[in-house]
Homo-oligomer: A and B are copies of this chain.
Amino acid sequence: METIHLNENHTPLNDNSHLKEIIRDLGLKITQQRLAILNHVVTGKAHFTAQAAFESLSKTHPEIGFATVYRFLRKLSENGYVTEVRMGGLPARYEWAHKKHHDHLTCTKCQGIVEFENQEIEELQEKIADQFGFVLTDHVLELFGLCPKCQTKEGELPVPKNRFSSHLEPNN
């Protein structure tokens, strides 16, 4: 029994059916927490940390615990629904894996991220794995540099040398 009703702001409630579908597919029970988290993952901005998600969710769902956020994000990434990206020793960042595969080009100064896709590189990776008799299952490709803006503006890197910090939201 799924009814659509309006909340106190008279905005239509999200149709959660596809979210429920995903949770069901994971073999998990459908809870308000998981729906809220998943909704945040799907509709919120990409490249968020678990901590950021927790804080954001806390506003509307003060009862949610960070353990639940961590747990569910892990489950989602284990099952390919979200992509976990890590750089250096920095907190993991997540993004809804609805788009086709892509890699990232990150500005080490402003943390801006450009997503790109390069079929040629993907193929070369397969070729390399083949050469060594490996069956390729995954890969990580992250490029770092200075974006056009940051090449002109003076100023030192906000991040210590050799301590990468990709995959953050841009500062500007």
A143 interface neighbour in B74, B92, B133, B134, Cβ under 8 Å: B134
Q: Is the CB of A136 within 8 A of B144?
A: yes
Pick the interface stretch among A3-11, A24-32, A55-63, A112-120.
Answer: A112-120
Q: Is the CB of B139 within 8 A of A135?
A: no
- Given the interface pairs A105-B129, A114-B134, A137-B144, the reply to whether A161 lies near B86 with Cβ below 8 Å is no
How many A residues touch the partner, as a band? 35 or more
Is A12 interfacial (CB 8 A cutoff)?
Answer: no
Interface residues of A in 34-79 (CB under 8 A from B): 74, 77-78
Contacts of A86 in B (CB 8 A): 86-89
13 contacts across the A-B interface (CB closer than 8 A):
A86-B86, A87-B140, A105-B129, A107-B134, A118-B124, A118-B128, A120-B124, A125-B143, A135-B146, A136-B145, A138-B143, A139-B142, A139-B143
Interface residues of A (CB under 8 A from B): 74, 77-78, 80, 84, 86-89, 92, 105, 107-108, 114, 116, 118, 120-121, 124-125, 128-129, 131-148, 151, 160-162, 164
